Amino acid sequence: MNDIENKLSGIIDELPDLPEKAGLWSGRILTIVGYIEMTQRGIFKSTVGDKSNHQVVDKQDINGTVRAELRGIKILTKIRDGLLMDLRDIYDQDTFKNKENGLDERTKRQLSFVKSCRKSENLCGNCVVCVSLGSLSPGRFARRSRWFLPDMFSVEHANDCVAGYLDFDQAGVLNTVDSPSRGGMSSRSSSSFATYEFVKPGTRFPFKLMIRDPSKYDFFASIKALNEVGQVDGVGAYSSRNGRFKMQLTAVSNESPLNIATNIDLAEDFDLLNTPDRLFPPNATVVQFSFDENEDLLAYVYQKYDELLMGADWIEFLDKKTPKGEETE
């Protein structure tokens, strides 16, 4: 793990521990490049016409080749959920509760609002997750996400990586179970069945995650959360039983990629991931990782993330001034 820390020191050491609540971009950026490989089938559905039980994988015809598409927003949504759960675990600890008891009433009200932060339904706009991933409450505040994960495209052609059951006579049962009834096992309605496609295990989706005004929290949290989406939560529809993947990071840089490094380019020329000098400008600091280093990298990230999560003063972060126009109640 020390080798990983030494490799990353030139990039990580210059970052602040926590993100700044700044409205204007300073120009700093961090780019994380790699790929995910499906270990289970992934149902990245689009509903066709008015048939809600006929689901197909998103696909794009790119330069004459049809590729499966994985929407970046689907993964970022799962990432937000996981990071908010980590914060709630901190709020529930006795040491945090003891500190909370000594606060004035105004700060307690602010903290109560932050502790109730939930995806979409009730975003607080002031916790570290909202500062990093953005938040919106019409008439109250709007904060743009500083994390950008563009849509990804499969390395493999759709003919090779997409399968399914598109004939209703062979429709699959997606999310129901038989239940006992007086007449034996209950029968399913037609809505219990679906004609559907899925992305096969082994399909690879190259990605680049770019973070504006990065902090150590952003770096460690993004990698940790992306890994847990793949290992625990899954992505796509019916992810209780589908959508798991493994993540391989190949490079980290303190610059944005060149124009030749779109996710389309990475899908069409997978070897770009192993040649970072072709991805980034000459003045960039780039740290490259081999497949064998991925386990040590994840261990390092998890350790540093836990240390930061436990050691940060989240009440002080709450009290940091929010730029005009981004205030919360």
pLDDT at 128 over 80: yes
Extended beta strands in the chain, E state: 29-38, 45-47, 54-57, 59-62, 65-70, 135-137, 141-143, 147-148, 152-157, 162-165, 172-173, 180-181, 184-185, 193-199, 204-212, 245-253, 286-288
**pLDDT reported for residue 324:** 53
Q: Using 50, 70 and 90 to split pLDDT, how confident is the model at 247?
A: very high
d(CA 59, CA 246): 21
Question: pLDDT tens digits, residue range 146-201?
Answer: 999 999 999 999 999 999 866 544 445 454 444 444 444 444 444 545 567 889 99
Question: pLDDT tens digits, residue range 60-95?
Answer: 999 999 999 999 998 998 999 899 999 888 888 888
The model's pTM is 0.85
The chain-wide mean pLDDT, for the chain, equals 83
pLDDT at 329 over 60: no
**pLDDT reported for residue 171:** 47
Distances (CA, A) of 209 to 26, 35, 51, 147, 257: 18, 10, 34, 7, 10
Q: Using 50, 70 and 90 to split pLDDT, how confident is the model at 53?
A: low
Q: Using 50, 70 and 90 to split pLDDT, how confident is the model at 327?
A: very low
d(CA 177, CA 192): 9
